[in-house]
Amino acid sequence: MSSSFKRHLSLIIGSILTLDGLWLLSLDKIHLGIILPLIIGIGLMLYAPFFNRIQNFIQHPPLRQTLWHCAWAGFFLWLGTLVIFFSYLQYNIQRSNTVQPAAAVIILGSGIEKGRPSPTLKQRLDVGAAYAKRYPETLLVVTGGLGFKEQIAEAAVMSEYLQQQHHIDPSRILLEAKSTSTTENLRNVQPLLAQQHISLKQPVVIVTSDFHILRAKAIAKHQGYQQIFTLSAPTPLYIRYNSWLREYFAFISGWLLQEY
């Protein structure tokens, strides 16, 4: 591979990653799945014009070249693990949409914007509402507490959306409005289910985004849910792979914190 090709390829990929990251930041989207590609993009853009200087710098002493090659090898190894994770995630997404009667449907929160469900959360609510209409005896549990600078709990916004947009009877909706994480969502839902005489041995459907299915199911199983079925909501394309990248790190973090 010629040096000219490397420089041009680095500049093109770097520009795409940088522009995508800046655009998402302008939409007030900020998380590791956006910041990391932005940093990589800026690095690749800088690599192109300084290519010759970098090559001269790493030539002497030989240790520099060894470290340089090790750094690139580590980067591509990391990309390999990312591809494996994305493939496994896609496999679980395809298996997730099992439709059968359940005692309750838990719709996990995903943030609100200006008092309304975010695009990602709307997708989850729409999927949950479609299931609720198919099985009118099933209870719905919406989850999520107060977010940063928000005046109303996420669960309340979700309940209002289901009532107004899908005409779900409020008597079918239970609100878990204190949690700020998936682990808390699923833990705090348990006493609400118990009040409705629903045990963790009964079938429960968890509705969440496609990228979140794997971790949500693992957390639920760890907490004692015994019959878990999942419904995945598609992530909006403009943020999809950034969200998948964020989930890659969240999954590792959850494992280290022994959430499953």
Q: Is the pLDDT of residue 201 over 90?
A: yes
**pLDDT at position 48, please?**
84
**pLDDT at position 186, please?**
95
CA dihedral 234, 235, 240, 242 (to 10 degrees): -140
Domain residue spans of the chain: 3-95, 97-256
Per-residue pLDDT of 11-60, as tens digits, reads 999 999 999 999 999 988 888 999 999 999 999 999 888 888 888 888 87
Rg (alpha carbons) of the chain, rounded to whole number:
22
Cβ neighbours around 223 below 10 Å, total: 15
CA distances from 231 to 108, 111, 115, 234, 259 (A): 11, 18, 25, 10, 21
Which CB contacts under 8 angstroms, 24+ apart, belong to 254-260? 254/215, 254/218, 254/219, 259/183, 259/215, 259/218, 259/219, 259/222, 260/215, 260/218, 260/219, 260/221, 260/222
Q: What is the CATH number of domain 97-256?
A: 3.40.50.620
Say which DSSP state 97 is in: B
CA 255 to chain centre: 15
**pLDDT at position 62, please?**
81
Contact 219, 254 (CB under 8 A): yes
**pLDDT at position 97, please?**
67
**Which among 168, 161, 178 is positioned nearest to 117, based on CA atoms?**
161
Q: Is the pLDDT of residue 102 over 80?
A: yes
**pLDDT at position 188, please?**
94
Q: Is the pLDDT of residue 167 over 80?
A: yes
**pLDDT at position 169, please?**
94
Provide the pLDDT confidence category of residue 104 given band limits of 50, 70 and 90. very high
| Global pTM value | 0.83
